[in-house]
Amino acid sequence: MRSLLRRVINTHHLSVLQSKIGSSSLISSFSNLGPGSSDAMQAPVKINGRRMMETIHSTCEFGKAHRYGEHETETGMARLALNDDDKKVREWLIQQVKAVGCSVTIDQMGNIFAVRPGRNKTAPPVMMGSHLDTQPTGGRYDGILGVLAALEALRTIHESGYQTEGPIGLVNWTNEEGARFPMVTVSSGVWADVVPLETAWNCREVASLSQGSELKTMKQELARIGFLGETPASYKAFPIGAHFELHIEQGPILENEEQNIGVVTAAQAYSWFEITVKGQDCHAGTTPLSARRDPLLAAAKMIAASNQIAKTASGLITTGIFQATPGSINTMAHTIKFTMDIRHPQDEQVSSMVQQCHEAFEKIATEGSERGVEVSWETLTENVAVKFHPDCISAVESAAEAESRYGINPATGEASEPVPISTSDDVEMAMAAAQKASMTWRKVPFEERRRSLLAFCNAIESHRDEFASLLTREQGKPISLARLEVTNALRWLRAFTECDLQDTTIKEDEHRKIVCRYTPLGVSVGIIPWNYPFALACAKLGPAVLAGNPMIMKPSPFTPYTCLKLSELAQDFFPPGVVQALSGDDRLGPWLTSHPIPEKISFTGSTVTGKKVMKAAASTMKRVTLELGGNDPAIICADVDIEHTAKKVTNLSFLNSGQICLAIKRIYVHESIHEQFLEAMVKHVKTLKVGEGNGEGVFMGPVQNSMQYERVNGFLESAKTENWTIATPSTTVNDRPGYFINPTIIDRPADNSRIVTEEPFGPIIPLLTWTHEDDVIRRANDTRMGLGASVWSRNLKQAERISRNLEAGTVWINSHFDLDPSVPYGGHKESGMGLELGMDGLLAFCNKQFLYLDKSR
């Protein structure tokens, strides 16, 4: 998992806990983690993320599923507190925690405490968890992530045979969302002695979410489902040493900044209110506007005023419930009720916003055009801001940073060797070294630079088996494909050495001579993706150093090892500072692309990130080469050899588990041969062996990382919810660890479905049909991507005619992803900018200079 770390203020949950937990931290309970030993662990215990996600998805049986959008993330799970579904998931959870050696305590608020003993049985437990109840919509990952991540941590420790120094456990807090019973964090509040027990017990459910005709209290529902425990709901009866919660972000802040983990440092202060505005009901047709006392219009202005107050204070004010009585279409309401949730990191700012809202609402009620209405407030719940304990913050920071220090073998899910995380100081030192090297390396004659690169190629050749083995281990691809990647990388490097950067005379007469010459750009940065980490590192490193530029490579944090090894090997063939590699987390890329020293950025990756690279480079007008995403179409004409073509197209679709920018992503087969072609593809898919890369006969390894695994699984989820036809056998591989997904063909999905319009970058592909040539060309071009395309036909004139109308940087006829090392490639539209490989790839690292020589003097 990539990190890092951006400190954020949590707007949700656990604001009442911190004042009642001790100063012990996660480190204290885990410092002597080991199988009966007092020695500290030397390697991290890794959570089985795949199993955790499968567990989360499996709990969807306890609740009502709903869809509110088109994408895989736009599904939810409704499981309101203390309803029958909540009862079932609670009973299931208790079975799970008992299976991993936990004792279970249920207190008077129905809070579930599951504790696994440590060596020090008297120490207060370190607890992890959150809540199983949800909002009425959107609760698929919310609180349950914190509960089930804690369960997976307990499973991992139990299965590994480790014993912690102190007790550790899981907690599920009741009605933390405050959705059914309108008191947020009510049960943890009772435990912390912030909310009186009787107040919580007597809290009645929200009318709109009522489970019956009578509004039930929390105590009634706790008793009904059998979770009204006898243990006092108090930190005095059940003390906790520290509490940690993994929580899904409920806004797009981290996603927009492409950060995966945020460390919460505080919980905001908040106050909940129900506001009642009363006016005079009247008939819509007989009451003139001047005679109306309209509470709805007044309430609308109050909500608008509260929004402006929140903006000014840099706070948050939200109206979640709005009710009009009597609710007739041609009658003005006499009463409006609406709620307000007012939040800010500082207590005094919440008080100030509340006061400003009081004043603004009174003014609207008494002085505006709606004068004559009455406004009243009822306080529902209040909570002060809480800063989390520094020990807890540092423990989470350390854990997140440690996670980024180990690559993960995607075939096993096991941690690999530690990888250094570059700091901003490391970046400065690398830039200084590269800048110093640039002054001398640019002056080295081209022929000498060529000899250095060729000698480097020979050294790679002698280590090719080591590089291939490392590739299979860190990237997951079959060893045969890893060897091919090393072979192709050498072909690319050697092809560069066959290029020349000679001065060219543009024009010459008796008066003057005009010469075009090529000079180095300067320090260059190469950002390498995780799908072909060795070959694409070479594709950037080779032309950069040959043209006279130092190169700083940044490998993907998912696949750092081959690039680091490549840089290490290069030190024997290039002067200090000419070839460097920096491994790091999510901060490293922006540090490199925004730094003033580099003159060139060569980036391969997603279009979203490519745009950010381009924006960062613009600040100092760096040259950029961007090789970005693709959605390559393959158009299959009616006259093809079906068996032969289907086999080739299938292989090219699922090569490297579909994780190739230039792989086939959409197949358009002529309607007249659709059934036979699909049958031939499915027949061949069944012969493709999926497994660990070193296994005999393996064609396809795992998806490279957990994030991509979840993305591809999202497409498979869409296949179920949108009723796509899956033409291939079982799509998931459950009999082994790792991120394995079987090759999957989706038969004739709609043209506007996600599987057609987006790039899955995994082993799943749509098969569509076509009849008319103009139509298939239009559909093939109907994308913002334009990296590659192919046409398959025995009629070369027809194939070339179609090819010349496709909007892509590279188009093949009767093949695909068949790159020649001397020929450049690049994307059209949002698939990129600039070219790689060949002479154009070399010139991308050069300045072109025109030298005018005057002969008249």
- Partners of residue 379 on adjacent β-strands: 273
CA dihedral 808, 809, 815, 818 (to 10 degrees): -150
CA-to-CA distance for 433 and 580, rounded, in angstroms? 9
Nearest to 831 by CA among 628, 661, 625: 628
The whole-angstrom separation of Cα 680 and Cα 667 is 14
Residue 348 tokens, joined: 């005094």
380-to-81, 178, 271, 590, 695 alpha-carbon distances in Å:
18, 11, 8, 45, 62
Least Cα distance to 360 among 301, 406, 272 occurs for: 301
The token duo for 552 is: 């700083």
456 and 574 in contact (C-beta within 8 Å)? yes
Q: Is 627 among the residues known to form the active site?
A: yes
What is the distance between the alpha carbons of residues 835 and 668, in angstroms, rounded to a whole number? 27
Question: What's the rounded Cα separation, in Å, for the pair 296 and 302?
Answer: 10
Where b means 16+ CB within 10 Å and e means fewer, 301-334 reads bbbebbeebbeebebbbbeeeeebeeeeeeebbb
Please tell me the distance from the alpha carbon of residue 549 to that of residue 578, in angstroms, as a whole number: 7
DSSP structure class, residue 672: G
Tell me which DSSP letter residue 752 carries: T
Identify whether 679 is a catalytic site residue: no
Catalytic residue among 627, 692, 830, 836: 627
Nearest to 278 by CA among 196, 217, 337: 337
- Sign, Cα dihedral of 414, 417, 423, 428: negative
Q: Judging by DSSP bridges, how do beta strands 504-508 and 335-344 pair with one another? A: unpaired
Report cis status (omega within 30 of 0) of the bond before 4.
yes
CA distances from 527 to 151, 521, 610 (A): 37, 17, 10
Strand 168-172 relative to strand 126-130, pairing = parallel
Q: From the CB of residue 54, how many other CB atoms can be counted at a distance below 10 Å? A: 13
Rg of the Cα trace of the chain? 32
Strand ranges (E), 578-720? 579-581, 600-604, 623-627, 632-636, 664-670
- CA-wise closest residue to 434 among 605, 613, 595: 595
Is-contact 732 741, C-beta < 8 A?
Answer: yes
Q: How far is CA 779 from CA 109, 636, 691, 782, 801, in A?
A: 58, 13, 35, 5, 16
Backbone φ, ψ for residue 619 (5° rounding) = -60, -30
- CA 305/CA 461 separation, integer angstroms: 70
Q: Is there a contact between 193 and 145 (Cβ–Cβ < 8 Å)?
A: no
What distance in Å separates the CA atoms of residue 751 and residue 432, rounded to the nearest whole number?
51
Direct distance between the N- and C-terminal alpha carbons of the chain, in angstroms, rounded to an integer: 66
Q: Which residues of 247-272 are buried (b: 16+ CB within 10 A; e: fewer)?
A: bebeeeeeeeeebbbbbbbbbbbbbb
**Which residue type sits at 202?**
N
Structure tokens at 423: 């700091």
Active-site residue, from 102, 457, 637, 661: 661
Q: Tell me the catalytic residues.
A: 627, 661
